[in-house]
A and B are shown apart, each in its own frame.
Chain A
């Protein structure tokens, strides 16, 4: 289990700020933890909750004891006065916030302290966000809200303005890369996962998953097809690609891989060998950088990002992907 000390090694600013607010007993009623994925936001919220409920509080530090009932139950997800809200499918629905609302009109089960953590808070529907706003505005006593998001920009301004913002900085890829190599991942895979900012546990899990290896291969083949004017990328999309990348998360993942390919092509153009992610594919990259000019590569990166946005906006996945392939085809 992480401690504040562990976390401080890679999030010095955020951790310092939280520690001060704890030790000086100036805990705000609502926090917004924002920053890219895998930067320790969730760990920080757990630690915060543990310290808040801890039965052996040491006034001099912000560290929870990790030993008492409360700490243990927070780790196992069984603490009755800590509420986790995660998106139910695509979004956090009104019902989930209603549940919270009900929960807050009741007294606590064990004490009157309550903490609620909302994961991926940007996924709240407008209805849900507006309902949440109501009790962010009128916090009940001894209640702390922690909103966690990767995209602070997508949150309602009215919500953001009512929270204390805590920025979690982007981790250097190197830090993650080293951690992954330590876990026994091959250098090329570690480099890829580090670039995708996937947290360590997830990366180890995926590394053992065949689906992931297959996905990488398919993206390489798709690149081969679209970079070669004789080959039909469009057919490949339907015959193989879409069959493998089913569902929104998978499609998102595929796009992420494609994005890295084009980022690498840009790096190749700029002669930044050090920042290339796909270290095992340098030959292909060299070949492709003759096909795609620097400015074209940039445009295509925008196209891929655009496709991601379309998927988030519920555009039909097949149509969005077809459009992208037509843009990519040389």
Chain B
């Protein structure tokens, strides 16, 4: 293998794939970056077995030549030293040459590095993802979907399946659900041109999604999502992000969402967040961070919190409207704030069905699309 490549695109690619490489890995080969060169492009792969990132440098793009010379081949290079080496090379053109004994020769200007490579055959073989099983989505939309659901995944390993976000595609509708069994976040969007495609019970680990969210830039470009049995691929023009899925059956969540309500409250989201945030100042030390909400008449709600050792806080908040029965309910302030922030709407509707039943928060407009559910806390 031999490539003569510009430094800038190579450096950017290395930095991308380095995000997937972890310093402590149980599989020795995964401490390396795999280089794969064919006639048109050079592909770099990094993996920590949970997520895999591939970055493609094409030979020529928009009239700019990235790679001047390619002799196809493959090699795995130790990732620990590579970024520093490439960054500090004197010249802007870098020549990487690999001989049959897997010795790597990196040359730039008058500097020359000789590194030991590893056998590319040893590298995990990634599944070949069929393109039929895929659909397109805008990157900024996907990022929003992740932001609105991923916070609700469980962090405890007692029910591992809940550490992921469940994705379902059916009838042109893509649904994401995340829950840690105390709260639930659900988001649906309509997707075009996927008439023949449907899948269910695809659970992506929450950690992979946060990583993906970090890597993707907020643009309006489209991204292709393909799903197989054990992996999911997010594919942009230059970057492929693969993640393993969680194994198991995701619990049926649709039954958890109450379809009727006894009290409906319409409230300014920002005011409510601030008020609960203030109340939770005293409750934070407490294990459950509990805040109590009591309706007063048709207009006002009272938000209180008290912790016996510190003191108490009380605040009256004017709502836009309250319909139905009076209610006294306690809940975890953090869950409530997370939910309200994720909704990101000026006014929200909160549907209560009694003090012991979970309540549902929806934005005022497009209320079918996004839903946050929080279970109350029993207090005396």
Contacts and interface: CB of A to CB of B under 8 A. Distances in A.
Interface of A: 69, 72-73, 76-80, 83-84, 98-99, 101-102, 104-112, 140
Contact of A101 (B30, B126, B160): B160
B231 interface: yes
Contacts of B260: none
B379 to A, nearest CB: 34
B314 to A, nearest CB: 44
A72 B118 CA distance: 14
A110 B124 contact: yes
B27 interface: yes
A80 B124 contact: yes
A112 B248 contact: no
B157 A107 contact: no
Interface string B201-243: 0000100000000000000000000000111000000000000
Given A78-B28, A112-B229, A105 B122 contact: no
B121 interface: yes
A78 B26 CA distance: 9
Contacts of A98: 157
B161 interface: yes
B49 interface: yes
Contacts of B244: 106-109
A69 B29 CA distance: 14
B245 A73 contact: no
Given A98-B157, A101-B157, A102-B160, A107 B121 contact: no
8 contacts: A73-B122, A78-B122, A105-B163, A105-B248, A106-B205, A106-B245, A110-B230, A111-B230
A127 to B, nearest CB: 14
A102 B157 contact: yes
Contacts of B8: none
Interface string B119-162: 00111111100000000000000000000000000000100110
B246 interface: yes
Given A78-B123, A105-B246, 13 more contacts: A73-B121, A76-B28, A80-B124, A83-B26, A101-B157, A102-B157, A104-B247, A105-B157, A106-B205, A107-B231, A107-B244, A108-B244, A109-B244
A76 B119 CA distance: 11
Contacts of B231: 107, 109
A83 B121 CA distance: 19
Contacts of A80: 27, 30, 49, 124
Interface string B265-304: 0000000000000000000000000000000000000000
A111 B26 CA distance: 18
A107 B122 contact: no
Contacts of A72: 121-122
Interface in B6-55: 26-30, 49-50
Interface centre among B27, B121, B163 (most CB of A within 10 A): B27
Contact of B27 (A78, A99, A140): A78
B229 A107 contact: yes
B160 A77 contact: no
A274 B124 CA distance: 53
Contacts of A105: 157, 160-161, 163, 246-248
Interface centre among A76, A104, A111, A140 (most CB of B within 10 A): A76
A109 B247 contact: no
Interface in B62-90: none
Contacts of A140: 247-248
B161 A107 contact: no
A99 B48 CA distance: 13
A110 B52 CA distance: 12
Contacts of B160: 101-102, 105
Contacts of A104: 247
Given A78-B28, A101-B160, A108-B230, A69 B247 contact: no
Contacts of B157: 98, 101-102, 105
A3 B157 CA distance: 40
Nearest to B248: A105
A112 B244 CA distance: 11
Nearest to B164: A105
- The 7 lowest CB-CB distance pairs between A and B, nearest first, are A105-B160, A107-B230, A78-B29, A80-B124, A78-B122, A106-B244, A107-B245
Contacts of B26: 83-84, 99
A279 B274 CA distance: 86
A79 B230 CA distance: 16
A110 B245 CA distance: 12
A110 B127 contact: yes
Contacts of B229: 107, 112
B84 to A, nearest CB: 25
B124 A76 contact: no
A98 B158 CA distance: 11
B28 to A, nearest CB: 6
Nearest to B119: A76
Nearest to B26: A83
Contact of B28 (A77, A99, A107): A77
Contacts of B245: 106-107
Contact of A107 (B27, B30, B126, B247): B247
Nearest to B232: A107
Nearest to A85: B26
A99 B27 CA distance: 13
Contacts of B50: 106
Nearest to A142: B247
A73 B124 CA distance: 9
Interface centre among A78, A101, A140 (most CB of B within 10 A): A78
A89 to B, nearest CB: 16
Given A80-B27, A105-B248, A140-B247, A112 B122 contact: no
Contacts of A106: 50, 205, 244-247
A80 B242 CA distance: 15
Contacts of B49: 80, 109
A110 B246 contact: no
Given A69-B125, A78-B122, A112 B230 contact: yes
B130 to A, nearest CB: 16
